[in-house]
Structure formats: C-alpha cells, structure tokens
Amino acid sequence: MSRSDARCTIASSALSAAIDPLGAELWSLKDAAGRELMTDADPRWWTGHAPLLFPFVGRSRGDVYRLDGQDYPMPQHGFARRNPFLVVEQDDDRLFLRLEADSATRAAYPFDFRLDMAFAIEGATLCMTATVTNRGETVMPFSFGYHPAFAWPLPYGGAAEDHRIVFEQPEPAPIRKVGHEPGLIARESFPSPVEGDTLIPTHALFEGDALIWDDLASRSLTWGVAGQPHLKIDFPDTPWLGLWQKPGAHYLCVEPWAGMADLVGFTGDVWDKQGILCLLPGDSRSFRMDVTLVDV
C-alpha cells in the first residue's frame, strides 16, 4: 500500500481533508471545487504539511533536554510527527486517531502518555482537537503545537503580495525571533511587525526564520486577500503563535503553540523551560484549532 493510499479522507459539501495516520498529519484541505488550500510541499523548500508538535514544541538545546538531572535525546518538535497513530474511528466527516507511549517513546520521554487527535468537518470548518492524557503516576511535563502550512497565495486569484494576516485584536506587543543558536529563541525582543491588527507578510520577513508571539492578545486570525475567499483560523487553547516559511516558498505556516523552543543558552531542567505545561496523573488537556473557509 502506498502512503497516499494509507491516508484517510473526510468531507462535507464544502470541504475535504486528507489525513496521514503517520504523525496524524493533515495532508490536504480542499474546497468544494477541489482547490488546494494547503502547501504544495515543493521539495525545494519543505515537504511537511502540518506536523503535530509533541511532547515539546521547537528545539531543545543540542537536541537534548534535562529531566530531574538526567539528559534525554529529543528531536526538534518532538517525536509524535514521526510515529504512526492508530485509527480508532472513522466516518464520512470525522476521524479519531491515537498515539500511546511504548518502549521507544519512553527511551526519550519516560512518561505514560496518550495523544488523541480528532478531526471533524462541519460545513465549511475543519475542527481539530488534540487531547493529551497523563496515564502515569507522576506529573508529566509537556508542550503542544500545531504547524499547518497554508497556501500562499490561496487559489482564488489574489497575488501573493496582497495576502494579509488580520488578527482578532491589535497586536502591538514585541515579538521573539530565532537567535544565534539554530532553532533556539533569542532572549531579546523585537518590535511588532503588525500595524494595528494587520500583518503584511513578505518573504524577507522570514529570512531569519520564524516570527514568534509570546504576548498574544488574539486567539483568532484570518489569512487571505480582502474581498476574496479566505481562511479564518481559531486557536482558543494555545496562547502563543509562530509564523514561518522558507523564503520564496508557496506556503505560510500558522502555528498556534502552547510552549516553545529553548531560549539561547538555556541549560536548566525541563521544569524550568519557558512555557512548559504540567499534567497531573490521570488528567487530560485539550487544544483546539478550527480552520474555516469564508466564501465572501
């Protein structure tokens, strides 16, 4: 069976989505006319589509993190995106996938976790909900993030330079950027590139890697060209946001995060890591992201 044959498809009359159980990765999102709303995955730039970031968002310094004085290996954005999820339930318009701890994950992350990923299409909205559960007997540190790459330009005739990110609220607060250690966050902040509630993205903005909001007022934004069909993206459970692309590529990643990479020079324990979440034994925490096609 080819990888494309292994993908699961769900749909409504307005949208269709293809999800790969490898990493529970959203692979495609199309409108009713079959127009692709996500990345073209051109290998010159980046072949990813929408990896899930777990058990940590971003890079740990040296690709190693310290837990209670012991070092563990951890690739950038964690290991969930490289692991096959079990298809628990599938219907015409919904899909439920699950990843559970095993001996391989425990070697890098010694916790008995469960990561459930629910996809549902309701009219013109794709609803995604990740639920992290601590099935062990000790407190579990973790972070979680989404990383979907949306088409830039969207397939409605607007020029790439006419696309805008419009936030739910004005965003005057300073932002973070990647620092001199690859993949790690600079300790200094930078002036917001947002004018009021609007960001005009350019390829040059991303020459230094991602733009990162760790003091974000909004939990919703739109992506597209004024007066044309566009995307509304809601992320009520994630307080931080990254925007990223490889300059010149045909996508923009809109990444709601609960957590982020290590700061430049960080040498502490994971419990001291910026944005780390702590889950008590038996508890769960969910993170929703909705993508709506607004047909004006």
Q: Which domains does the chain have, with CATH numbers?
A: 3-294 (2.70.98.10)
**pLDDT at 1 (0 to 100):** 45
Closest CA to 178 of 186, 166, 189, 190: 186
Beta strands in 50-159 (DSSP E): 52-53, 64-67, 70-73, 86-90, 94-100, 113-122, 125-134, 140-142, 144-146, 149-151
Strands 220-224 and 164-167: antiparallel
Q: What pLDDT is stored for residue 4 in this prediction?
A: 60
Which residues of the chain fall short of a pLDDT of 70?
A: 1-5
- The pair phi, psi for residue 231, each rounded to 5°, is -105, 135
**How far is it, in rounded angstroms, from Cα 30 to Cα 43?**
21
pTM for this entry: 0.96
pLDDT number for residue 6: 87
209 DSSP β-pair partners: none
Among residues of the chain, what percentage have pLDDT more than 90? 98
pLDDT of residue 296: 78
Report the pLDDT value the prediction gives residue 3, as an integer from 0 to 100.
55
Over residues 79-114, the pLDDT tens digits come to: 999 999 999 999 999 999 999 999 999 999 999 999
At residue 75, the pLDDT reads 94
Q: Are strands 164-167 and 15-20 parallel, antiparallel or unpaired?
A: unpaired
- Measure the N-to-C terminal CA separation of the chain; round to a whole number of Å: 40
What pLDDT, in 10s, does the model give residues 58-79?
999 999 999 999 999 999 999 9
Total count of residues recorded for the chain: 296
Radius of gyration of the chain (CA): 19
